[in-house]
Structure 1
């Protein structure tokens, strides 16, 4: 059997209510793509027998490989196992190995309490399934092959789902992969909108063969260009796709961040580390999130010196060396202040570059002269300090995100300018 189309079904009212973000589907999509299996549909449904039965019935009509996550718990609202037993016209049987495992977990972590009767049901599995033993949790997965299709049922807890996919499911998928190869090439840009980018590379896009597709994936401040190719000859496919990616990268050189799938933060950490460049950040309106986005990247310690959250003017003065007269004359949200903040944190950290942000994120604090969304950003480099004023006028969360994106954009532009000298 060759898997041509995959589908992901996530079960849970909490997903539909927006109380839980469905990270499982995103992770599964990336894993399946790495295995040359294409996901054609992702569906989120409620914890009801009708919804589960309908979703399975529809998925079986259009997909060869169906992954279902969620609903395998011991409580009454977890109705997945009874429903899928009915769907496959089979029964639930108790797996003694699973039951022994569940009991051992309660003995270890139950603080001497007797295991609730309902947890015995976690050892119940489909009679027609291959049990996927869950070493890291109490709910086992199940693998069912029926009428040329594969169904995989997994717990919704992310770390349990990932364990089962990596240790139990992925090894089995080798026998089901398509003969076609899937290859992706990426070009990451910053500081240009997707429509302008599309105009810039329109002639290159027009030359793409039918088996290579170009996707524009914008995020605040960046646009990720993904070239996706499908074909039988993996080596030829990669060579041809990479050639188009190089042409796009060359055309967009002014805005280019990377020729691989990385975030701007990852690109900065990689380039600064390679060049022996150090970074320090002083933040007011972004509240440490900018520094956090850099330090979240593994290896950031090789290029990051310090991050200062200077909300109060006293900290701006005492730690960063901002002149009291500057604060009195121009205020915290001003070009003069962010210049001294950026240069102060650069000096404090003995860094190559210093970034400073100061603004009014909202929803309160604005004035007619400086309304909510007013943000000043400065980047101090080896030979100059650049500044820019922004008027975002969004809600607090978006204003902060936009401030972070623009700060990184300014840093990247100055770095590229300095590198070209």
Structure 2
């Protein structure tokens, strides 16, 4: 007998009321191992495989399948790899099913099987009509039994298989209800074996829990080749697909989409979309890096006098703890008075940014709002800020400056560490040593 938490998938040897992993109560449930297992190890026949020297193995490179969606190709590392298992997670209603149905209908040259355990065939047909897409090689199947899905897949022999969603499938040979830990692990294992043995590219749609993580055991993310996270505010027009894990390409890649009546459309130039071109106090432009893509982002800050006992520190799209650190550096190293001010920060476009290269832009946005001075929108700030107020270099500075030049920026403020680099650009590059020097020398207009 084993015990699993139905919320986070943590395993226990005995029952307990509170899960140590997710801190939820009454989520630990008992499961018994299947009849074909012994001490948790599956008993199988002797394998035909045998150990080989590394030099004896001849690598085979399969040509990637390119979809019509350039943004989706980007987050996958250059296209769909045959035999790969991709997991796409996101909040309900964010557009997961729409994105994969759109991809399936656009791949007209290959045979695609779209399996849904949540919607009827009629509902999928209505959505396809709304998207204005059709394909003679896209087949729909409404089914939740894994055995039947694999039977139809073997008969049809598709090049690409989409499962919507993994939490709705069940394997009759395994115990547990639909969506339980046992069922998710068993179904994913059999689908993984099918994908690797037939060279079929397989996409799984996954649900998320209330904390924003993928529902089910953490083992699910380890088993698949690629994990994609669908992000964005449902009230906003823009959606982001972020690569969390990728065995066939770089991680942290970002694809940006615009939600329209006719579906999700990739944004070719997201930097111009994320900049408002407004000219008022509290705005500064920085350059972040999402995977291999440089993005110019607008940082908006509002600094006001505190009306209550403790000043507020609110950040949207940025780590509040790092914001507090930057405010402390500004007050300690530059002499600005911020301890009795409310500070609000917003990263435009609905993006969530962790790149430290945006530190300098955020500091300048706070200074601009505090002094009620406008920073010219032809300037951009690209540097990390240290605890001593010094500016530190960032990686791939050439790509960031090239993106700024493409968007028409005239000046870039970077750390002095980059002086040794030969950066060829038409932008005037200013090398700054610390925050205090920048604040005292930058040209601002009233």
- Output the TM-score relative to the length of structure 1: 0.30
Using CA pairs below 8 Å that are at least 6 residues apart, which structure has the higher relative contact order?
2
Q: Which has the higher helix share?
A: 1
Query: TM-score by structure 2 length?
Result: 0.29
